[in-house]
Chain A
């Protein structure tokens, strides 16, 4: 077990009153698992990621990493944002080394960055700027930037939402492949049910605000299959429909 969320609640204070964003969220992410977090927009999915990252403190409850409470950002957790957020004024190479540069560890991570760029076919683009790359390649670079500090768990915050449908299918399969190959644990936030079913081992369904855990689905039947094959699988539709009903989009 790596990440353990225990009764996490968060209430925002604003001049207009209190906003309850999360209520008593409890689940865990085990070593090597790929977990998706789905829920209607505004249910506090991104807030939950901020809490796990250590950027925000829960009002009550706690998040533990291997039994240790999270108190601030740590290199053990890698965060991949919506869109790629590559810095346009930096080359691919210095974008990828952003994390170590901030921690003063550039020298230690240079070989790893080079290795990852080579392994995923981006070594020849190291001196290019982000604008010279396609959307899918930029997403790969963003993932490598997250992988360079060698985190144990990756938090993916709707990383494919800015891509068009075609690109999205291939990029999500691509990113999935890389995460599996690097043997990382992953927590993906998404509002796309088919994306969550095609990628994860388990799906955590959150309710609308305040966000609560409504159900946790174990996709045992689909485990081990690549994303594209899952979409063809008989169980895909069944899982999709179950989650769809729980999300209760019309209510």
Chain B
């Protein structure tokens, strides 16, 4: 295992006419980790992923995936052999049956694992003889995931993999991600399922309006992010709390709520110096971190 970043971009930008979908993105993704890529609809996640895979050309900036330059056709080809990708819209040939699709895909990859493919066909209960066009949305997703999981890639890139899956399907997907990670596959996936991301991911990147707002480990988020609710005997002295780590302050008369990305202890100390009446410190879940970060932007 090398420690080279699996994904690295510098000032990566994509504009459609006067609209910038991705703006000066500096993204770095470490190997042997599960990294989640969060953002609202239209934040630029899929555009970023497509640029990484060489499916669309950046307007400017550059990047490497597994050390290969994304804008170099030859290097891109080498990279694609080591990357498994599941697209957002799960494109499959609708006239093929499930079995034909699996057979067709297997012929392209030297790293294909027949045992994993048949195991997943059974676990997903996919009807082998049924044509793709008559599969439900969830089944299409499962088939697309199967095609990625049945390989032995170095990097797995999944764009909204849980879309259309029921809770059982999502649980199975997460277990597959864990299994892949345990086999040494680096994983980069976009998702709206914050509760699931929070369980399984090591690292989280938050994209909003084409810009990267956060690239942090979940351990760090859990340890550092706090909401501190304070009550004073005087009108809440908001100006006293403009310090490092304080991301947002809301006041309401004598009450004040501080959202801190670090230094919660310093906030509490300051409050005590100001003879605070009540202090409550609470951890902040990924959902709140996401919402506050995106709102702030």
Please determine whether chains A and B interact with each other in the same assembly.
Answer: no
Which residues of chain A have a CB within 8 Å of any CB of chain B? none
